[in-house]
Every structure is written in structure tokens, then in C-alpha cells.
Amino acid sequence: MSNSDLEAPAGVDYAETRQHEVRKTHMAMIDGNLTSNTQSSAGGVSARVFDKGYWGFASVPAMDKASAGKVARKAADNAAAMHRFGDRPTLDLPLDAHVGEHGYNARTPRSQKENIELLEELNGICTTKYPSLKSASFILAEEAHAKHFATSNGGRGLNCINRAAFYIILTAEDQNGQPIELMQPMSAKGNLANLDLSLGALEPQLEELYQHLQAKRVAVAPRGGEQTIVLSPELAGMLAHEAMGHPCEADLVLGGAVTGNLVGKPVASELITMVDFAHSYKGEELMIPVYADDEGTEATDAVLIENGIMKDFMTSRETAAKLGIKSTGNARAYAFNDEPLVRMRNTGILPGTSKLADMIAGVENGYYLMKTGNGQADSTTEFMFGITLAYEIKNGKLGSAITDTTVSGKAIDMLKTVDAVSDDMYWECNGYCGKKQPMVVSMGGPALRAKVHMGGQ
Amino acid sequence: MTINIEDIASSTLEKMTAAGFDTAQVSLSVSEQDELNIAHNEASLLRSTEDYSLSLMGLLDGRKASAALTDLGDHAIEHGVADLFERAKMAPQDEANGVSASQTGHIVQGPQESSLDLLAIKVEELLEYRAAEASKMNIDEGAAAYYLAREQVLTSEGSALSCSVGCYGLSVMGTAVEGDQSSSFNYTGGSANDLSTAHASQLFGIGDMLKDTENQIHTKPLGENFVGEVILAPTAVTDLLGWLFGQLSDYALISDGSVFKGSVGEIIASNLLTIRSRFDAPGHAAYTNDAFLAPALELMSEGRLNALLPSYYGSRKTGLTHTPVGSGWTVDAGDSAKADLIGSVKKGALVNRLSMGSPGANGDFSGVIKNSFIIEGGAVGPALSETMISGNMAQMLKDISGVSRERLDTGSEALPWIRIPGLHFS
């Protein structure tokens, strides 16, 4: 189906049509056993209509002109059916429209043979070089989204998102015979060929992960309560995404997130500037480049915090209209049958001028937090993320590894305690953000030194 | 939905056999959904979707590959089968690979037609209840939905399983707001074969959640470290069970990381804990993704573990007994009133939600307790903020000291409130 076949339904206040195809590869090897060897493709067409204050949406898993017409009519019918709930006041959606195609020239994909040989080689290395390991797992994953869109206000185009991820998971036994685990993710824009999966690149990572696991075998329990910590750059992105990213999504602001009352007020140390980038940072295209969102709005950067002061929110057409602010192009849908929601794109805390080594050296008694498993956000800006690798800092030097723990705090309090920001910048795009639908996002940041609440005895 | 799923699944299996696969499995699912959404306390969106999913799994000389596609055209399927064959040829041999044989059944369950009127009535009930009884609560998002899936699963070894399963769902997520103060967000929901049996506020604990969240706007931090008791609400018991099921399933068993791998027949939990399957839960057919009928299962009897839960592949890989597992679990009600359980806690918390990283492989965890209240001297006090608990999941199972008579039934789960001592608060 060509782009011109995507005709948004007429006679309504606003409408959009999207043809969306997702292709994925997933391979997993556990201790030499290929437990997942899957490729999938899912595609279809959807339409969404806004008319007299209500939305209607419809989708089918087909990509022909007749199906596009069918979902357009169904979406309009659905919007009309909503009037059983009574009349709603008119809402003037911002109606700027992006026209443009933003494809992606992916590298030649790695072959199935190359991928299986890699997994077997890595498993062999673990078996021979690290015989004390209880288990070694490796996961290869890539996904490619191609979205053609047309809107009733003249928007028309193509957006492509391609990302690849590779995971190493090592399991050992601690000194008490209990299993302990560490995971190393790698991610890139594009497909798996965009990752350096050569043995020359991966063997040092295996060795480093193995050494951390050995340190974890004799890990000590952390002290519970407020602690001084240095967050590695890998974790600062998670902090940006979870702690302040979600509470700055306009739908959550409308739902009562505390950030709604904080625009123009200090919410962080003046060392902190945080941005949800649309597609580029310092002239380089980022991992999840969004030039126009799934409502056809041209995507622009949303500066959430500037030098410690709360500034903007991330919006869709509807949330921008309700808040009376500009639409930033953050309305994104994960699959063809999903409606666009306010989602992050590439959210990061900008680097500062400190050196990571100096930041650690400046801590008398605290922790260096290096790896996380997951994180969660809240409308209060209270966040948590699980810590799977961390070390004590004593008198400015790294000490023993600590057992798995969780850190938490209110971002609008915690970020005010930041007294050093490193000059690093680390981006990653593995995993999914969850909010009704999954979503591929990237997150980035430098190392931060701050105080947080740490779980423990 | 005019797709003939039997014919397409059958012809696809024939194509796989003709391509040269030794054995194969085909699953074709055709589904439809109507979803009436709430945004910010108002009905907002009616979403109707149709979906197809054709899943292929082929084995060739012990080598396995799988694929999924939504395009059901002949050309797409033929291309998918040919590509699958090439990928299977390159996969490593694994004698544990296999497909189910001689499993047959047809399951029809739940409503087979959508009622938009019923969805609209439930949304109206929710919105009216919120306005009248919990006006500080802001329903950020919510939905009343109808879902119908028809599926045909065939294997080259004579398995033929099919279903037509419909259900309704109702869910609410939001934040209570007063002035410039906000609660943590809170949510609940569930699925049922019929939503008309009760007012929306009486389903899945929705009314209680909306009112409860209003009491969480003003919070206080604990401000001290101590060892105390928790009353885990059903919404938090889910996390405890989730860790247990992970320990009993493929990844932990194959990677030899399960702390319960050798524990079948042994007591691993308090004798107050009995866990049963509910594989015929609303929206689910009682068979597995690898095409085995999933009969009812008493997984744990008064603390004694009766089975591990490896898939067919997992069981052949590990030598452990295969236990087909569907979706849905219940925990037997206890003999204590919930109020008495709470009243017996000297110092601790009523925990409605655990926000935490994945527990360590050994069960160690720490997490923030959300939507939770302090308990002192048996009385529920203020809502808590910035409070964490830490402990070990395996130890928590053993330490359960009370199970409530009351249970929250969300369709796929029916769980009680559970009292557990010995958690570290910080």
C-alpha cells in the first residue's frame, strides 16, 4: 500500500491513519541450549478520529487500501458512539502537520548462522574459561518499526525506529551456595550488525562481568537509610527516565502528578539539566529518532529541567491543548493496533564537568551504584530502581561489592542533593518502557553524586 | 471475523510437513477487542481492534526454529515456512526439542459477543461512583473492555486444541489530589465472564481502591529502622507468588538457579499456604502454548510443594516431570478475619504494592512499599512515603503467620491478605 492510500477520514475535527509494521528477531541460549529462535512480523493499519470532543480508534491486521478505508469508517463510528456520554466542550487541538519521510539505511543484517555461531562461541568461552559459573545465558534481539502516517490536517510521512540489543547473563553461587546473577546489556540504533559483537569486543566484557560476579560472591549487605551514592552513567539514564521523565508526561500531569505545580520552580541542583530529545543531540542522531510522532506532529526537544528549574512537559495534541502549551511530538504507539500515548523518546541528563574518579574519591562513606535491573516511577516523583551491582566507597576508594538492593527517593528532593555531575554521556535503548503499551525508548546520562534512600538493614 | 482458522491452520501444517519438517506445531489465533477508555475522569475513546497471529514451530533433526506473522495470505505463509526451514537447518541439535502428541480438546468459554451497552454502563457506574464517593481521586486512565479470541492449535503428532474464549475486563489507574498534594498512583482491575453481576465499584476491589487512595494523599516517612510485620494485600501477594512461579519455571530450572529444584514433596512454606490452579480463568483456555491440556493442579498443599512447572522442552532438558500450566492461580482463604490479622500486628505496615527490582536469584529483595499504611498496636495509621522493606522471598513463604478469610478475586487470581513477620523496615 502506498502512502497516498492512507486517507484520513473526512468530516471530523481531526483524524489520522497509520500503517505500521514491526519485525523482530529473538534468540536466546541458556548453557548451550538454544531456547528461543524466533522471527516475527506484525503489521496492520489503524485510524483514529477526534470529533466533538471524543476519540474513536480502529485497526485491522491488513495493509491494503480497502482495510484503510474500513478502519477509517469504524473509527469515525466509534467517535460518534461516544456521544452517549453527553456533549463535551470543544477542544482546539494544535494542528501543525509534519511532512517528510525519515527512513533508515540499516546495515546488512547478521545471518542466522553468524548469530548461532556467536552464541555457541560465547558459551564455549564460558565453559572453558569460567568453569565455576553455574550458568551462562546470551540473548540477541532486534526490532524494526516502519510507520507511514497521514493526518486530516495535511501531515504525511514515514518514521522508522530500529534498535538492537544483546544481553549476557552470568550466574554463580555465593559463599553460602546461593545463586547470584549479573546481566550486561548492550544496545544500538539499527540492527544487530550495528553492535560490535566481535569476540575481541565481547571477551573483555565477559571477563569484567565475571570479575564483578566474583566480587558479588562475597558481597556485604548495604546499610539501609539515606546514603551518599555515586550513580554510574548507566544508571543516571534510568533515573532521568523514571524519576522525572514519567512525571513530566503531560497525561500524568493532567492526572495530578506533583510536577504540574512546579513549573518555574527549583526541583534540582543547578547542575542538572534534563531533556527529552526528539531525535538528535549535539548534531548526532540518537538511538530512537522521532522526527514526527504518530499524530504527525513535528517532534521537538522537551527541556524538562534547565539548570535545576522545572520547565516543560512532553505532550500530545490533546494534552497540549488541555494544558495550553505547545505540542512536542511525544504521541507514540507501539504497534499498529495501539493508539498514540504520551511517551518519552531519548531522555537524558546532560553531562557536567566533574570526573567520575574524582567524584568517587570525594566520598568518605557511601556506595558506587553500577548496574540496575529495572525501575519504577510515580506521580509524586518518588522513584525506585533495583541495584544489581554496587560497591562500597570508603575513604574515597571502592571496597566490597554489596548484595542486591533497591534505591528510592523523591526525585524533586534527591536531585537537589546532586553536588557533582561527570563529563561522561552514556546512552542505551535496551528493554521496554511500560505504560498500557510497551515502548522502545532510549535514556542517557553522566555519573551523578547525590543522596538517596537505600534498602537494607 | 470470517477467517476460517481451522482450514488455515491445517493447510499451514501441511505446508510445513511438505517443506520437510520432521515435526511441527501451528497456532492460529484470531481475536477482536472493544475497549471503552476513561481519561481524566471522563469517557474518552472507543477502541476496536482485530488481530491475527499465526505461530509456526518446526523441528528438523532436533533443530528448532519458530516464527509469528499476522499476514495470513498464501504467499506470506509459504514464504514464512520456507524461511523457517532454512533457519531450523542452521540451529543446533537438541534432543529435548519436541512437540505435543494426541492432545485434543475444544473449549468454549465466556461471552461470545461484545455488549457495548454493558461496557458503557460500567464506565458510567465508575465515573458516577468516583464523583460521589471518591471525588479527590483522579482516574488518570481506565477501561471497560471486551475480548474474544478464537484459536486453533495443531501439531504433526496429532494434537488438535481449539478454543473460543471471551471475557470482559475493567481497570482503573489514578492519583488522588488535594491542593498541591498528590498520592502515589494506584490501580486495580480484573476480568470476568460477566460484568453485570455487580456495580463496577464492587468488582475487583475498585471501589475500595478509589477510596483508599484518597487516604494516601498525606503521607509520612517512617523515620526509623526496625524489624516488623507486614500484612501483604492481595495486590502485593501477587509479587511473592510471581517470584515463586519463576523459581519453578524453565529459566531457573534449566540454568540450575532454582532454590526449589529438588524440593518437590518437601515443605517450603507455612502450612497456612495452599495454592491451586485456576486455568479456566476468564479469558483463558486451559491448555499451554506448547499444546498440552492443562488439568487442574494443587501446586502447594499446606506448604508442601507438589510440582515444578517446566514446559515440555524444559522437562525433557532437565529430566524433571512435565507439568502443563495455564494461566490463573488462587490461594486458599485462611480462617482469620482481615481485621483481626491487622489488629494483631504490633508494629509494621499494611502493604498494598511492592515497588522493587527483581528479587535476587536467591530471593533477597528490597523494595519501596507504595499505597501502604503504618500499623502500630494493631491500628492502621497514616499512609507511608519513602519506606522500604527488605527480606528474602523464600523465607517469607516459610514465615507466613496468618491468612485472611477474605480474598480479592480479579478473575485470573483469588488471593487473601497475608501476615508475615521479620521484615526489615528502613
| Secondary structure in 3-state letters for A213-232 | HHHHHCCECCCCEEEEEEEC
Q: For strands A302-306 and A274-277, give the pairing.
A: antiparallel
User: A58 contacts in B (CB within 8 Å)?
Assistant: 47-49
Residue A2 has pLDDT above 60, yes or no: no
Residue A329 has pLDDT above 70, yes or no: yes
- Cα angle vertex B68, ends B63, B73, to 5°? 115
Q: How far apart are CA A421 and CA A351, in angstroms?
A: 6
Region A371-386 average pLDDT: 87
- B5-214 CATH choice from 2.40.50.140, 3.30.2290.10, 3.40.50.150, 1.10.10.60: 3.30.2290.10
Cα B104 to the chain's mean position, in Å? 25
- pLDDT, tens digit (0-9, with 9 covering 90-100), for B325-355: 999 999 999 999 999 999 999 999 999 998 8
CATH 3.30.2290.10, chain B: domain bounds: 5-214
Confidence of residue B81 (pLDDT cuts 50, 70, 90): very high
A102 to chain B, minimum CA–CA distance in Å?
25
Residue A111, SS3 per DSSP: coil
The DSSP bridge partners found for residue B181 are B178
Say what the pLDDT of residue A6 is: 66
Residue A90 has pLDDT above 60, yes or no: yes
Report the candidate in B422, B415, B420 with the shortest Cα–Cα distance to residue B241.
B415
Mean pLDDT of chain A: 94
Compare all CA atoms of chain B with the CA of A381 and give the residue at the minimum distance.
B184
Region B386-401 average pLDDT: 93
Beta carbons of B385 and A380 less than 8 Å apart:
yes
Beta carbons of A380 and B87 less than 8 Å apart:
no
Residue B223 has pLDDT above 80, yes or no: no
Beta carbons of B366 and A59 less than 8 Å apart:
no
Beta carbons of B255 and A54 less than 8 Å apart:
no
Region B273-278 average pLDDT: 98
Residue B132 has pLDDT above 90, yes or no: yes
User: A33 contacts in B (CB within 8 Å)?
Assistant: 94, 96, 254, 317
Tell me the domain boundaries of chain A.
3-217, 225-454
Confidence of residue A89 (pLDDT cuts 50, 70, 90): confident
Say what the pLDDT of residue B199 is: 98
User: A408 contacts in B (CB within 8 Å)?
Assistant: 355, 368, 386, 388
Residue B73 has pLDDT above 60, yes or no: yes
Alpha helices (runs of H) in A340-426, residue ranges in sequence order? 356-361, 411-414
Residue A86 has pLDDT above 70, yes or no: yes
B268 and B244 in contact (C-beta within 8 Å)? no
Say what the pLDDT of residue B357 is: 74
Which contiguous run of DSSP H or E holds residue A340? none
Least confident stretch, A85-89, A280-284, A295-299, A329-333:
A85-89
Beta carbons of B138 and A225 less than 8 Å apart:
no
A6 to chain B, minimum CA–CA distance in Å?
18
Q: For strands B160-178 and B104-109, give the pairing.
A: parallel
Which of the two residues, A445 and B426, has the higher pLDDT score?
A445
- pLDDT, tens digit (0-9, with 9 covering 90-100), for A153-208: 999 999 999 999 999 999 999 988 888 999 999 999 999 999 999 999 999 999 99
Say what the pLDDT of residue B180 is: 86
User: A388 contacts in B (CB within 8 Å)?
Assistant: 357, 360
User: B37 contacts in A (CB within 8 Å)?
Assistant: 55
| Cell numbers standing for residue B105 | 480438546
Beta carbons of B69 and A42 less than 8 Å apart:
yes
Q: Which of A58-67, A376-385, B113-122 has the highest mean pLDDT?
A: B113-122
Confidence of residue A10 (pLDDT cuts 50, 70, 90): confident
A298 and A304 in contact (C-beta within 8 Å)? no
- pLDDT, tens digit (0-9, with 9 covering 90-100), for B288-323: 999 999 999 999 999 999 999 999 999 999 999 999
Tell me which residue has cell 499498529: A336
Say what the pLDDT of residue B355 is: 85
Say what the pLDDT of residue A36 is: 95
Write the CA distances from A365 to A72, A360, B204, integer angstroms: 62, 10, 47
Region A220-229 average pLDDT: 91
User: A10: exposed, middle or buried (C-beta count within 10 Å: 0-12, 13-18, 19+)?
Assistant: exposed
Describe chain A by its helix, strand, coil percentages, rounded to 5: 25, 40, 35
Report the candidate in B310, B306, B320, B242 with the shortest Cα–Cα distance to residue B268.
B306
Cα separation of the two ends of chain A = 61
Q: How far apart are CA A196 and CA A189, in angstroms?
A: 12
Least confident stretch, A77-81, A87-91, B204-208:
A87-91
Angle between helices B74-90 and A112-129 (to 10 degrees): 30
Beta carbons of A41 and B90 less than 8 Å apart:
no
B134 to chain A, minimum CA–CA distance in Å?
15
CATH superfamily for A3-217 is PmbA/TldD superfamily (3.30.2290.10)
- pLDDT, tens digit (0-9, with 9 covering 90-100), for A397-435: 999 999 988 898 899 999 999 999 999 999 999 989 999
Pick A30's closest partner by Cβ from B225, B251, B368: B251
Pick A59's closest partner by Cβ from B49, B140, B359: B49
Mean pLDDT of chain B: 95
